Amino acid sequence: MTQLPDLYRIDNFIDTFALGHYARVLDAMDRRTGQSIAFKVMRPEHIDADGDMRWEYRAFGNEAQILTRLWHSPNVVKLYDCGYISDLAEAPRKGEIVSFQNNIRGFVETMAQYAEVGWRPYLALENLPRHNSLFYLMKPNRPNQRWRLPSEEGLSLAVQFSDLLSLAHSYRIVYLDHKLEHVYWDGINLKVIDFNSSRQLNDDRGEVPGQYSKDVHNLCVGVLYTIFTGMSPQQTSLRPQPSSRDAVEARYTDIEHLDFSEEGSLSDGICDLLQHGAAQQIETIQEFINGLQRVAAQHGWDFPNYYTTDASRQAREQTRSGLQRLRLGHENLREARDLFREALIQDGITPDLEDELRRLVLVINEMLNQRALP
Ligand SMILES: Nc1ncnc2c1ncn2[C@@H]1O[C@H](COP(=O)(O)OP(=O)(O)O)[C@@H](O)[C@H]1O
Ligand SMILES: [Mg+2]
C-alpha cells in the first residue's frame, strides 16, 4: 500500500484565478523524479454516493487517453502520471494512492472499480507558469482597459494552434474547449491544457464533419478573437467561462458575428479570416490554415504557397527582435519595481527613503499599465 505523501508532496492550489468544473489543481512535487508537476484531481463533489461513475469521473479517463495520443505535439501539456487517491479533502495530503504512470489502459480499465470504493482520479501534468496563462495575462487591472497581442505574436499563436488541431483532427479528435484559461503563451511557444471536454469522434454517428468546423469556429471565437482584440466574444469584460459539459457545448453556438469596430488598427485579413470561422464558413482545419497563411504572408511571413516581399520579410525580422526586447523591458521593469517594493518594507529606513521608494513604485506601475504587450 502506497501513501500519497510517499509519491507526491502536495503544495498550494494553482487554479484559483480560473477554477475548472471538473478538477482542483495543485502545485506538487513528484518525489520519484524531483520534478515539479501540476496535480489535477477530481473535485470531491463529483464522487457519487452510490459508487457510480459520473460524467466528470469518466472525463479523467478521456483526458488521459487524448493527452497520450497527442503526446508528440509540442503544443499539448505533457501527462506524466495518472491514478487514484483515497483522500477526499479538497486539497488532498494523506491516504492511499495507486499510480499507473504511463499505463493509461490500466487507469481506464479500473475506473469503475475505484469509483465504487469512492476513490478519486488524478492526473500529474507538466506544470505551466501562471504568468504564461493568457487569461491571467490579458485580464486588465483597470476598468475599460484591454490588452491585445501584437499581430506577429497572434499569428504565431494561431499557426501553432492550427498545427495542433490539424494533428488532433487527423486522429479524429476535436478539442472544443477553446478559452483563454486553457492557453499558455510565453511570446514564442504555445501550450494548451484541459482535454477532458475534447472528443474522440466515432465515424459511425455521421457527426464528424460538423465537429471539425465547430472546432475551427470555437478557436476563432473563443481564443483568436480575444487575443487580437482584448475583448470577449460575448461583449462582456474578460471573465472565466463556464465549463461543464453542456456549457462547453453551448458556449459559442450563438456567436456568428465578431465585432472588430473597437480595434480599427487590426488588419482586414485577420478580421475577415476570424469572421469566416465564426460564421462557420470554414469547414476544415486545412482550409483555415490556408487562409491563415495567406494573411500571414501580408505580415511578412513566408510559406511554400504564399510568400511575402523582401522588404516585409526584413520588417518582420525587425518586429520580432523589437518584441523580444519589449518583453525583456517589461520583465526588467517588474523586477525593478519588486526591488523598490522590498526595500520599502524594510524596518528602520528613513522617511526620506520611504517616500522616494513609494514614488518609484507608483511611476513604474503607471508605466506597466500603459505597456504595449499583455
Ligand atoms: N498543467 C497545468 N499547469 C498549471 N496550471 C494548470 C495546469 N492545468 C490546470 N491548471 C490550472 O487549473 C485550472 C483548472 O484546470 P483545468 O484543466 O481547466 O480543469 P477543469 O477540467 O476542471 O476545467 C486552469 O484554468 C489553470 O488555471
Ligand atoms: Mg478547464
Atom 20 of ligand 1 has which residue's CA nearest to it?
Answer: 20
**Contacts for 200 with CB less than 8 Å, ≥ 6 apart:** 62, 65, 66, 69, 171, 172, 173
Residue 56 near residue 42 (C-beta atoms within 8 A): yes
Which of 18-32, 136-150, 195-209, 258-272 bottoms out in mean pLDDT, i.e. has the lowest? Answer: 195-209
Say how many Å lie between the CA of residue 182 and the centre of ligand 2. Answer: 6
Verdict on whether the full-model pTM lies above 0.85: yes
Tell me phi and psi for residue 24, to 5 degrees. -110, 150
Q: 142 to each of 139, 227, 228, 236, how far by Cα in Å?
A: 9, 18, 19, 14
Q: Which of 253, 234, 251, 230 is nearest to 242 (CA)?
A: 251
Strands 96-99 and 79-85: antiparallel
* pLDDT tens by residue, 103-121: 999 999 999 999 999 999 9
Instruction: Say yes or no to pLDDT of 26 above 70.
Output: yes
pLDDT score at 209 = 76
What are the φ and ψ backbone dihedral angles of 26, each rounded to 5 degrees? -130, 150
Over residues 265-293, mean pLDDT: 97
Average pLDDT value over all residues in the chain: 94
Residues whose beta carbon lies within 6 Å of some atom of ligand 1: 14-15, 18, 20-23, 25, 38, 40, 77, 125-128, 133, 181-182, 193-194, 196, 243
- Rounded to the nearest 10 degrees, how much is the dihedral formed by the CA atoms of 48, 51, 54, 57? 100
Q: What is the CA radius of gyration of the chain?
A: 23
Given this model, what pLDDT does residue 339 score?
Answer: 98
Q: What is the mean pLDDT of residues 307-315?
A: 96
> Can you tell me the distance from the alpha carbon of 36 to that of 164, in angstroms, rounded to the nearest whole number?
25
Average pLDDT over residues 78-104: 97
Specify the pLDDT at position 309.
Answer: 96
**Which of 54, 76, 193 maximizes ligand 1 atoms within 8 Å of its Cβ, making it the mutation to test the pocket?**
193
Pocket test for ligand 1, best of 194, 196, 197, 239 (most atoms within 8 A of CB): 194
Task: Report the pLDDT averaged over residues 72-98.
Answer: 97
pLDDT of 205 strictly over 80: no
Predicted confidence band at 193 (pLDDT cuts at 50, 70, 90)? very high
- Could you tell me the CA-to-CA distances from 297 to 182, 192, 269 in Å, in that order? 28, 25, 10
Rounded to the nearest angstrom, the distance between the alpha carbon of 63 and the centre of ligand 2 is: 11
Contact indicator for 126, 78 with CB cutoff of 8 Å: yes
Residue of 11, 12, 13, 14 to test ligand 1 pocket, by largest number of atoms within 8 Å of CB:
14
Q: What is the pLDDT of residue 367?
A: 93
Tell me which DSSP letter residue 73 carries.
-
> What are the tens digits of pLDDT across the range 286-306?
999 999 999 999 999 999 999
Per-residue confidence at 313, pLDDT binned at 50, 70, 90? very high
- Distance, in Å, from the CA atom of 195 to the CA atom of 165, rounded to the nearest integer, reads 12
Neighbours of 348 (CB within 10 A): 4
> What integer is the mean pLDDT of 2-8?
98
For ligand 1, atom 17, the nearest C-alpha belongs to 194
Query: How far, in Å, CA of 45 to CA of 244, rounded?
Result: 13
DSSP strand pairing (173-174 vs 23-30): unpaired
b/e map of 27-44 (b: 16 or more CB within 10 Å)? Answer: bbbbeeeeeebbbbbbee
* Alpha-carbon gap, residue 166 to 284, rounded angstroms: 9
Per-residue buried b or exposed e for 296-310, using 16+ beta carbons within 10 Å of the residue's own CB:
bbbbbbeeeeeebee
Q: What is the pLDDT of residues 319-366, one digit of tens each?
A: 999 999 999 999 999 999 999 999 999 999 999 999 999 999 999 999
CA distance 277 to 292: 11
Give yes or no for a contact between 195 and 325, defined as CB atoms under 8 angstroms apart.
no
**DSSP reduced 3-state for 210:** helix
Locate 274 and state its grid cell. Answer: 476570424
Residue 208 scores a pLDDT above 80: no
**Predicted local confidence at residue 207, as pLDDT:** 67
pLDDT band at 206 (very low <50, low <70, confident <90, very high): low
Percentage of the chain lying above the pLDDT 90 cut: 87
- pLDDT one-digit tens code per residue, 235-267: 777 777 767 777 777 889 889 999 999 999 999
Bridge partner residues of 365 (DSSP)? none
Question: Residue 275 phi/psi, 5° resolution?
Answer: -65, -40
With 90 as the cut, is the pLDDT of residue 145 above it? no
CA 367, CA 327: separation in Å to the nearest integer? 14
Of all protein residues, whose CA lies closest to atom 12 belonging to ligand 1?
Answer: 15
How far does residue 96's CA lie from ligand 1's centre (Å)? Answer: 23
Bridge partners, residue 125, by sequence: 38, 79
Best CA proximity match to 7, nearest among 47, 35, 41, 44 = 35
Cell of 66: 487524448
Read off the pLDDT of each residue in 57-71 and give the average, rounded to a whole number.
Answer: 97
